[in-house]
Chain A
């Protein structure tokens, strides 16, 4: 790989003149930590890491990068388990951590305007003070809401609507600064996604930093209701669980529901013995499909909120729909017997509207989390569950954990299955990668599911016909030198 950090440090000095020397590093000891993440993506070191504080600095950096055809990879929160921000062609990593202001909490128009470095923990705390909440994911509290929502939320407390973002401010690769949605008019705020012209906010969603640097986003927020309920239902098949979540979300009863399998919903303590060997509960070695009188096949967490009177009725309706779907609503005692201490984490998540460290992460003691994710129609996801467990069983992976949830009122179902692999077992890791690729090809071919996030790069984009031609034309127009996150492999 060519190093851009030559020419007598000219680029280094230029970057220092834009952001100040304490906000630029070309030290190997610093840049290397930006060169790889928890994913198996091959490491690649940037030449510079830059910490800008203002939009105008980003404008100047992109103008400089364009002049020198220097790749730019942007980090907002920087949390990454998928290799989406590895600067595989070197260049600049823009770490936006200092751009961490909540610029506006507009309780009148119910949106918040944030910078990329704001975390969910910061945003949810600020909203809680004002009696509001936002969509929150099943990712850590240090995640950037701006980045996470741009990538499509992987979980939420509002799965009625998937698009949480209303408008954006973007610095284009040529340094031009634009705003989308209602805010495209300089006299307007960020209150409306769909104005009189085509929706350019959507263009930047799932663009993975390839079209510019997003410096502001307005995000939908919701008032915290008078009464909030977390109900838990148990089902003995995945198809019943899917029918149930589809029903309760589509009919506006639940705001959000997640299906969890038995290797995941319970907190299994992974202990270390005196000689530092892991003590793993037997159930985690078993086929997750094996029936067990004490452990339901799935449990579903159902979140709903509203006026007290509504909630009383809703609770009765959830009980009715649960029974119709051949499930059982768990009593308080049953919940605590089966699910403590996980239930304590969920309560914070659902009732306090912030992201606690889920007790389920105790399984990280087994190794690195390695997920496979698809989105499909409800009936297809039911088949996907069977086939993916079968495939993972064949490779002998344990435990096999998954969770699944409806998007957009249950039109689509999100399915994330994963295991934990000791990172020292490199051969197993390679086999899993191959298995996941095969599972993915098969799922697309047989069930027409969609890739979740880009993950498979150009190989899948090529299958999109005219769409990809238009997208490439737009990319060429916006970023003719292909400086924006070129390593991600989409363009």
Chain B
């Protein structure tokens, strides 16, 4: 229980005020998916801290039952961003980070994850991606865009290259249209985010070290990420677990495109396009972990025919899509329930296209859409703006 002992003080700070579960006054919007679904205090950020305290005080033993409760957390990060009591303790660990530590403690104590998660773990060990797709497939894809002279490298992410390529392909086309010289990594492995979600923190070392080596090999000055989960783990967890400082600068793809647009290196044509009403779903990792709520909105301002309608829960108060924290695998029904809630919120805006900027959200909304029985478009932000990008 060493790791838990380190955060004992923070665990003891919670006064059960449940501020971690709802947004800013006066709207007070419900923000915590497991608390909204299951209702018991146990399922909110504070409740999970009490589980950590209960373990430390030996009031309960590690058990599959306990891990199951902890695994309902979608790691959306709202609790950590909003709780002002726990976050002032030292050392600074936000609530969601402590939930992740408690989960990791369960794994250390030998508690097994769900069957679905176990399968992902096996895939990660064998093929270095969570889908079990042969690593050759990605190697083949990447070989076509290897450019050792490029100053910009792309970390594409497993979802974008192995499951749903729309965002990846759109991104490549935009870069080509803007005449940006870039390269992919020679042998990209999964960033390890699924391992972090499941509580296998130690196992991330191997993938981190490999990916860092690949980045060093390519020698690029800037790495562009197409998935916020990947960027987050690279910037916050890799240095912690490997002790290595990566020289290259990191940028999220939408921020990179915005920088290009502002420098007139990315141009948009709008004249022949019809008026469009869209809504943007802020991915939790982009908005709350990486603090970027504006790059997509700013990019959209370059396209006057597009009208952005805000969802009730947006920016820092965005709501989980339902795919976070591994719940899509560990509890698909619950995951769908969250996704449906979010899609209904989108439908309420009256927009006809849902834009997001995370492959996990994209994938999950596309699955949930089938259950809604209502027609609307879902696009990744790169895929969407590609329609308006002209050649330099």
Interface residues of B in 35-67 (CB under 8 A from A): 38-42, 47, 50-51, 53-54, 57, 59-60, 63, 65-66
A357 at interface (Cβ–Cβ under 8 A)? yes
Question: Given A79-B16, A364-B89, do A122 and B42 touch, yes or no (CB 8 Å)?
Answer: no
Interface digits, A122-140 against B, CB 8 Å rule (1 contact, 0 not)?
A: 1011001100000000001
Stretch in A21-29, A106-114, A287-295 with 4+ CB within 8 Å of B:
A21-29
Stretch in B22-30, B127-135, B206-214 with 4+ CB within 8 Å of A:
B22-30
Partner among A25, A33, A51, A276 whose Cβ is within 8 Å of the Cβ of B90: A276
A140 to B17, CA, bound (A): 6
B261 at interface (Cβ–Cβ under 8 A)? no
**Nearest-Cβ distance from residue B273 to partner chain A, whole angstroms:** 40
Stretch in A34-42, A203-211, A303-311, A394-402 with 4+ CB within 8 Å of B:
A34-42
Question: Is A364 within 8 A of B59, CB to CB?
Answer: no
Question: Is A365 within 8 A of B89, CB to CB?
Answer: yes
Question: Is B40 within 8 A of A49, CB to CB?
Answer: yes
Number of interface residues of A (CB under 8 A): 56
A35 to B94, CA, bound (A): 24
A80 to B14, CA, bound (A): 10
Inside 8 A of A119's CB, which chain B residues have their CB? 28
Interface digits, B153-195 against A, CB 8 Å rule (1 contact, 0 not)?
A: 0000000000000000000000000000000000000000000
A38 to B16, CA, bound (A): 8
Inside 8 A of B40's CB, which chain A residues have their CB? 25, 30, 33, 49, 51, 95
Interface residues of A in 394-451 (CB under 8 A from B): 422-424
Counting chain B CB atoms within 10 Å of each CB, the highest count among A78, A95, A125, A128 belongs to A78
Stretch in B5-13, B226-234, B349-357, B366-374 with 4+ CB within 8 Å of A:
B5-13
A141 at interface (Cβ–Cβ under 8 A)? yes
Question: Given A95-B41, A121-B25, do A80 and B16 touch, yes or no (CB 8 Å)?
Answer: yes
**Nearest-Cβ distance from residue B147 to partner chain A, whole angstroms:** 39
Question: Is B63 within 8 A of A272, CB to CB?
Answer: no
Interface digits, B61-89 against A, CB 8 Å rule (1 contact, 0 not)?
A: 00101101100000000000000110011
Question: Given A23-B39, A29-B51, A78-B41, do A141 and B65 touch, yes or no (CB 8 Å)?
Answer: no
Residue of B nearest to A275 (CB): B91
Inside 8 A of A35's CB, which chain B residues have their CB? 54, 59
A367 at interface (Cβ–Cβ under 8 A)? yes
Partner among A78, A129, A272, A423 whose Cβ is within 8 Å of the Cβ of B18: A78
Question: Is B16 within 8 A of A365, CB to CB?
Answer: no
Question: Is A365 within 8 A of B17, CB to CB?
Answer: no
A129 to B90, CA, bound (A): 39
**Nearest-Cβ distance from residue A355 to partner chain B, whole angstroms:** 8
A97 to B42, CA, bound (A): 13
Partner among B19, B22, B26 whose Cβ is within 8 Å of the Cβ of A128: B26
Interface residues of A in 83-131 (CB under 8 A from B): 95, 97-98, 119, 121-122, 124-125, 128-129
Partner among A22, A30, A45, A354 whose Cβ is within 8 Å of the Cβ of B25: A354
Partner among B8, B15, B41, B69 whose Cβ is within 8 Å of the Cβ of A140: B15
A280 to B85, CA, bound (A): 17
Question: Is B17 within 8 A of A125, CB to CB?
Answer: no
Residue of B nearest to A75 (CB): B41
B92 at interface (Cβ–Cβ under 8 A)? yes
A81 at interface (Cβ–Cβ under 8 A)? yes
A356 to B14, CA, bound (A): 17
Residue of A nearest to B39 (CB): A51
A43 at interface (Cβ–Cβ under 8 A)? yes
A368 at interface (Cβ–Cβ under 8 A)? yes
A80 to B17, CA, bound (A): 8
**Nearest-Cβ distance from residue A454 to partner chain B, whole angstroms:** 19
Question: Given A29-B60, A29-B68, A277-B90, do A80 and B41 touch, yes or no (CB 8 Å)?
Answer: no
Residue of B nearest to A362 (CB): B88
Question: Is B17 within 8 A of A143, CB to CB?
Answer: yes
Counting chain B CB atoms within 10 Å of each CB, the highest count among A35, A43, A272, A364 belongs to A364
Inside 8 A of A129's CB, which chain B residues have their CB? 26
Question: Is A357 within 8 A of B41, CB to CB?
Answer: no
A129 to B28, CA, bound (A): 14
**Nearest-Cβ distance from residue A366 to partner chain B, whole angstroms:** 9
Question: Is A122 within 8 A of B28, CB to CB?
Answer: yes
Inside 8 A of B25's CB, which chain A residues have their CB? 121, 124-125, 141, 354, 356
Residue of B nearest to A142 (CB): B17
Question: Is A29 within 8 A of B66, CB to CB?
Answer: yes
What total count of A-B pairs have CB within 8 Å? 138
A477 at interface (Cβ–Cβ under 8 A)? no
Question: Given A79-B16, A424-B8, do A272 and B90 touch, yes or no (CB 8 Å)?
Answer: yes
Question: Is B9 within 8 A of A80, CB to CB?
Answer: no
Interface digits, A273-285 against B, CB 8 Å rule (1 contact, 0 not)?
A: 0001110000000
Inside 8 A of B92's CB, which chain A residues have their CB? 272
Question: Given A32-B51, A35-B59, do A424 and B91 touch, yes or no (CB 8 Å)?
Answer: no
**Nearest-Cβ distance from residue A278 to partner chain B, whole angstroms:** 5
A267 to B54, CA, bound (A): 32
Question: Is B54 within 8 A of A423, CB to CB?
Answer: no
Question: Is B27 within 8 A of A125, CB to CB?
Answer: yes
Inside 8 A of A276's CB, which chain B residues have their CB? 90-91
Residue of B nearest to A23 (CB): B39
A81 to B16, CA, bound (A): 8
**Nearest-Cβ distance from residue A400 to partner chain B, whole angstroms:** 19
A441 to B59, CA, bound (A): 33
Residue of B nearest to A363 (CB): B88
A471 at interface (Cβ–Cβ under 8 A)? no
Question: Is A368 within 8 A of B19, CB to CB?
Answer: no
Inside 8 A of B17's CB, which chain A residues have their CB? 77, 79, 140-143
A270 at interface (Cβ–Cβ under 8 A)? yes
Inside 8 A of B47's CB, which chain A residues have their CB? 33
Question: Is A29 within 8 A of B65, CB to CB?
Answer: yes
A301 to B38, CA, bound (A): 42
**Nearest-Cβ distance from residue B7 to partner chain A, whole angstroms:** 11
A363 to B88, CA, bound (A): 8
**Nearest-Cβ distance from residue A63 to partner chain B, whole angstroms:** 23
Inside 8 A of A25's CB, which chain B residues have their CB? 40, 42
**Nearest-Cβ distance from residue B105 to partner chain A, whole angstroms:** 14
**Nearest-Cβ distance from residue A134 to partner chain B, whole angstroms:** 14
Counting chain A CB atoms within 10 Å of each CB, the highest count among B8, B38, B41 belongs to B41
A477 to B178, CA, bound (A): 83
A78 to B25, CA, bound (A): 19
Inside 8 A of B22's CB, which chain A residues have their CB? 121, 142
Question: Is B14 within 8 A of A38, CB to CB?
Answer: yes
A361 at interface (Cβ–Cβ under 8 A)? yes
Inside 8 A of B39's CB, which chain A residues have their CB? 22-23, 51, 95, 97-98
A163 to B187, CA, bound (A): 70
Counting chain B CB atoms within 10 Å of each CB, the highest count among A32, A49, A119, A369 belongs to A32
Residue of B nearest to A38 (CB): B15
The 9 closest A-B pairs by CB, nearest first: A125-B26, A140-B17, A423-B12, A365-B88, A272-B90, A276-B91, A142-B17, A33-B50, A33-B42
Which residues of chain B have a CB within 8 Å of any CB of chain A? 8-9, 12-19, 22, 25-28, 38-42, 47, 50-51, 53-54, 57, 59-60, 63, 65-66, 68-69, 84-85, 88-92
Which residues of chain A have a CB within 8 Å of any CB of chain B? 22-23, 25, 27-30, 32-38, 43, 45, 49, 51, 77-81, 95, 97-98, 119, 121-122, 124-125, 128-129, 140-143, 270, 272, 276-278, 354, 356-357, 361-365, 367-369, 422-424
Given contacts A34-B42, A142-B18, A143-B17, 13 further A-B contacts (CB under 8 A): A30-B40, A30-B69, A32-B50, A33-B40, A33-B50, A37-B15, A37-B16, A38-B14, A38-B15, A43-B59, A77-B18, A125-B28, A362-B88
Contact sample, A vs B, 10 pairs, CB 8 Å cutoff:
A28-B63, A38-B14, A43-B59, A79-B15, A140-B15, A140-B19, A142-B18, A143-B17, A270-B88, A356-B25
